[in-house]
Structure 1
Amino acid sequence: MAKILMQPGTVIDGFTVGECVHRGGMATLWSVTHPGINVPLLMKVPRVSEGEDPAAIVSFEMEQMILPRLSGPHVPACFGTGDFARQAYVVLERIPGQTLYKRLDDLPIAYEEARALGIKIAAALSALHRQNVIHHDIKPSSIMFRESGEAVLIDFGLSHHEHLPDLLQEEFRLPYGTAPYMAPERLLGVRDDPRSDLFSLGVLLYFFTTGVRPFGESETLRGMRRRLWRDPYPPRKLKPDYPPWLQEIVLRCLEIEPAWRYPTASQLAFDLSNPDQVKLTARAERRERDPFATVMRRRFNRGAWQPQPKSDVAVQLASSPILVVAIDTTETSGPLNDALRVTTQRILGTLPQARLACVNVLKLGLVTIDRTLDEKGSNKHVDRLVALRHWASSLKLDENRLSVHVLEAIDPAAAILEFAQANQVDHIVIGARQDSMLRTLLGSVSAKVAAEAPCTVTVVRPPRSG
């Protein structure tokens, strides 16, 4: 069959080709239209001429397989694909605007702006990982933003889908990706760990806040292999005013061993969204790299770098959820809080990497002026934070798995729902008091949360007396 000539006016499977908007090393992008589709479109066509890199063809096949299976605001919608027998292509939603690459001339950016970017990118990665896909090429030119604010991930040619053949893994020995952003385990052939994307996001945050890439510009395989044993300079070495909470987050993302990074993108987004709750360790204040003896142990300890068997992506994410328990700190809530503690302990007992957020709502009056001090002169907000920590103390969680939050709101149920939505919460545990006429008439907080929450909700009742 004759090869289709890509030029303005050509019609392919109902798509009319317009102008060429980009010529990349592995593909070209064309504007296209279709009579039945009313959104701006792009057709991505692989470069298959003589002498082109064969990996470009394989990566395009991966993108053709993966993109139609993705959905949601964090990926471009896919409207069609064509096979190599006639004309290979992928037709995508055209996202207006530029990629994050356009911001490189502005580096370093403000810490607060970098935090906001990181939250959005981590949320996009969380949504992608929940669809069993690891991106494997997170970098500024692979990230765009919708007008509504959500981060959009593009370019899935190097991605891994848990339920599809990994053609890159099967056909090539060398790791493919963008060298400055590549996770250490990728150099060992590991492609099934979503924490590799968190390493890449850590590189991006480091770069955007310091103006320096943590591993330099080296593109050689030998140079890249140094990150199997050599950590980067801490950001506070480069910028003395670097916030300790941000260094804690960035260096945790950049841990050489994946097990020491955040277990999920959702937990990373949670820390970025709640910087005052970040548990500071020795990472936060470091100004020097690991000592030479530590580096040598990593480099010459052969057994330390054998890839370990992994469970599938969905199982890994399910074992590391964000759990919220809503706690009433009033004196009459003892039996209910005891029941909440038992339920929470049971859930955490099966999820060793779960993150727990203890939440209380300080209810504000609709028309009254609210006082920050109670009748005894104590700060109500601080007292409730202390009460939440006391409630959680018997759970004996590591500090980096626990946070406490007092939300001030007129509507407690709405505040809990908003917190769950903003922090990508997976499971809410909330108490329901004994029936009363007021709750029957107006509805309960637990009922509203259970009806409207975007996640699993467990409603716990206190044991009946007598």
Structure 2
Amino acid sequence: MARQAMQPGAAIDGFIIGECVHRGGMAMLWSATHPDINVPLLMKVPVISEGEDPAAIVSFEMEQMILPRLSGPHVPACFGTGDFERQAYVVMERIPGPTLYRRLGDLPMPYDEARGIAYKIASALASLHRQNVIHHDIKPSSIMFREHGEAVLIDFGLSHHNHLPDLLQEEFRLPYGTAPYMAPERLNGVRDDPRSDLFSLGVLLYFFTTGIRPFGETETLRGMRRRLWRDPYPPRKLRPDYPAWLQEIVLRCLEIDPAARYPTAAQLAFDLGHPEQVKLTARSQRINRDPIGAVWHRRFNLGAVQPHAAANVAAQLAASPIVAVALDTADGSEALNEAIRIAAEQVLSTLPSARLACVTVLKLNRLSIDRTLDEQGQNKHVERLVALQHWARPFRLDESRLTVHVLEAIDPAAAILEFAAVNLVDHIIIGARQSSMMRALLGSVSAKVAAEAPCTVTVVRPSRLAAQANTSESGGTDRTTNETAVTPPGMF
């Protein structure tokens, strides 16, 4: 069947073609409308001409397969696709505004601004990875932002979907991607590791905070292969005022071995959201690159990164969750907190890469002025912070896997829910107290959290301890809704 002509006013499957808004080497973007769709649209059409690289066609097929399966605010909504027999296309939501590429003239950025941008991108990657997709082309021109600030990832032609055929892997042997941002393992044919996207984000964050790309501009395969054994200059070598916490994050993302990076995008986002709690290692103080002996060991020991057997993206993410434990450290609920500890130990014992966030809420008054000191003259916030650290000490977790947080809020349940949403928490463990008149009249924190949290919630009963912690499943989320908790004055 003859291909349809792409020109303003033409109709394809009910979509009316408007103006050409972008003409690239691999695809063209046209504005489009549809009588039944009430949002701005773009139609993406591949460029097919004499001598065209067949990888361009395959990558368009990948985008046609992957984009319709994605959802959420971090990707453009897909409204239709067309096959190559008549006219290949993808119709998607048109995100207003430019890509992050526009900001290259502003480099280097202020550290905190770059951190905020990287946090939004890491959150978007966490959402994408949970949908079994690895982007494989994270760079400034692949990132946009919605009106309310959420990062939107675009261009999925090089992506890998864990449940779909990987046509690029099956049909080509060369790695495809943008050379300065490509992860080392990609050069060995590895396309099923979500930590490759974290490497690319590390490159972007290094670039945006120093103004220099960590591996230069090389486009040759030989030049790119050097990153299998050669690390970049630490940012503090380029900018002496570079924050230690930021260098810790950047260099962890840029580790040659994926196992040394953050295990998930959600854990990376957590550190970006809490820079004051980033656990500093020797990375944070480095000024020089690795010694030549270490470089030669990688170079002549068959490289630092080797191909590995196919991994399940979902299983890898499930092995590295963020677990939030909500505690009341002030009202003498030792039995309940011990039960919560047992429940948390059971979870952590099977998840060696899990991250534990210990949370308590200092409840504020609605009408009266809150006092910062207790009856003994101790600062309430500091007192609860120390109590959380003491409670968590028996876990003997590596510092990079443990954080403590004292939230101040009028509504403790809302504060816990907001913390879980902002920090991409996968599992909340919270206690439920015995029956009381206050609970009957006002409801409970644990019931609200269990009912509204977008993640797994385990509610622990103090009388039965953690061995009988109740968890029930509702709408894909484990929750216990038949147990409630008291909210005593000043705490939850």
Common fold, TM-score beyond 0.5? yes
CA distances 1:178-222 after superposition (whole Å, capped 9, x unpaired): 000000000000000000000000000000010000000000001
Aligned counterparts of 1:157 and 1:462: Cα–Cα separation in 2 = 52
Q: Does 1:282 align with 2:290?
A: no
Is residue 189 of structure 2 the alignment partner of residue 186 of structure 1? no
Distance 1:303 1:187, change over 3 A: closer
| Deviation of the 1:310 alpha carbon | 4.4
**What is the DSSP-based 3-state SS (H/G/I as helix, E as strand, rest coil) of the residue aligned with 1:457?**
strand
Question: Which has the larger displacement, 421-430 or 380-389?
Answer: 380-389
Report the more deviating stretch, 21-30 or 367-376: 367-376
2:213 is aligned with 1:209:
no
Distance in 2 between residues matched to 1:33 and 1:376, nearest whole Å: 68
Question: Partners of 2:410 and 2:20 in 1: how far apart?
Answer: 54
SS at match of 2:430: strand
Q: Is 1:119 aligned to residue 119 of structure 2?
A: yes
Alignment of 1:209-288 (within 5 A): 209-288=209-288
**Distance in 2, Cα, partners of 1:279 & 1:118:** 18
* Residues 268-347 of structure 1 mapped to structure 2, 5 A cutoff: 268-302=268-302, 304-330=304-330, 332-347=332-347
Give the distance between the partners of 1:164 and 1:88, measured in 2 at CA: 19
Are the counterparts in 1 of residues 257 and 304 from structure 2 also a CA contact under 8 Å?
no
Change (3 A) 1:227 1:303: closer
Distance 1:24 1:186 in 2: 25
The answer as to whether partners of 2:206 and 2:214 remain within 8 angstroms in 1 is yes
Deviations 1:197-252 (A, max 9, x none): 00000000000010000000000001100000011011111111111111111110
Which TM-score applies when normalising by structure 2? Answer: 0.93
Instruction: Give the structure 2 partner of residue 57 of structure 1.
Output: 57
Q: Equivalents in 1 of 2:15, 2:369: separation in Å?
A: 62
Number of the residue aligned with 1:66? 66
Distance 2:96 2:408 in 1: 37
Please state how far the C-alpha of 1:463 moved relative to its aligned partner: 2.1
Give distance in 1, aligned partners of 2:341 and 2:279.
Answer: 22
The 5-angstrom pairing of residues 28-107 of structure 1 reads 28-107=28-107
For 1:150, the aligned partner's letter is E
Segments of structure 2 that go 5 or more residues without pairing to the other structure are 466-492
Report the secondary structure of 2:359's partner residue. strand
State the shift of 1:6 in Å.
1.0
Distance 2:186 2:293 in 1: 24
Alignment match, 2:459? 459
Cα 1:43–1:73, aligned 2, differ >3 Å: closer, same or farther? same
Q: CA deviation at 1:331?
A: 5.2
Counterpart for residue 372 of structure 1 = 372
Secondary structure, counterpart of 1:41 in structure 2: strand
Sort the Cα spacing of 1:158 and 1:464 in 2 relative to 1 into closer, same or farther, 3 A: closer
Q: Does 1:9 align with 2:12?
A: no
* CA–CA distance in structure 2, aligned partners of residues 15 and 448 of structure 1: 45
Q: What letter corresponds to residue 378 of structure 1 in structure 2?
A: Q
Q: Which amino acid aligns with 1:136?
A: H
Q: Which moved more, 1:9-18 or 1:366-375?
A: 366-375
Query: Which residue of the partner structure matches residue 170 of structure 1?
Result: 170
Q: Indicate if the aligned counterparts of 2:355 and 2:401 stay in contact, CA closer than 8 A.
A: yes
* Partner Cα distance (1:12, 1:364) in 2: 59
Runs of 4+ in structure 1 deviating by more than 4 angstroms, as ranges, are none
Aligned partners of 1:411, 1:39: CA distance in 2, in Å? 37
Matches of residues 415-434 of structure 1 in structure 2 within 5 Å? Answer: 415-434=415-434
| SS in structure 2 of the partner of residue 429 of structure 1 | strand
Please list the CA deviations of residues 33-56 of structure 1 after superposition, one character each: whole Å capped at 9, or x if unmatched.
111111111111111111111110
For residues 405-442 of structure 1, the C-alpha deviation after alignment (integer angstroms, 9 at most, x for no partner) is: 00011111111111111101111000111111110111
Partner of 1:151: 151
Corresponding residue for residue 131 of structure 2: 131
**Mapped partners of 2:27, 2:416: distance in 1:** 46
Give the C-alpha shift of residue 135 in structure 1. Answer: 0.2
Q: How far 1:7 sits from its partner (Å)? A: 1.0
User: What SS does the aligned partner of 1:169 have?
Assistant: helix
Question: Paired residue for 1:195?
Answer: 195
Distance 2:21 2:366 in 1: 55
Q: How far apart are the structure 2 equivalents of 1:149 and 1:14?
A: 32
The alpha-carbon deviation at position 76 of structure 1 amounts to 0.5
User: d(CA) in 2 for partners of 1:40 and 1:327?
Assistant: 46
Residue pair 2:256, 2:304 contacting (<8 A) in 1 also: no
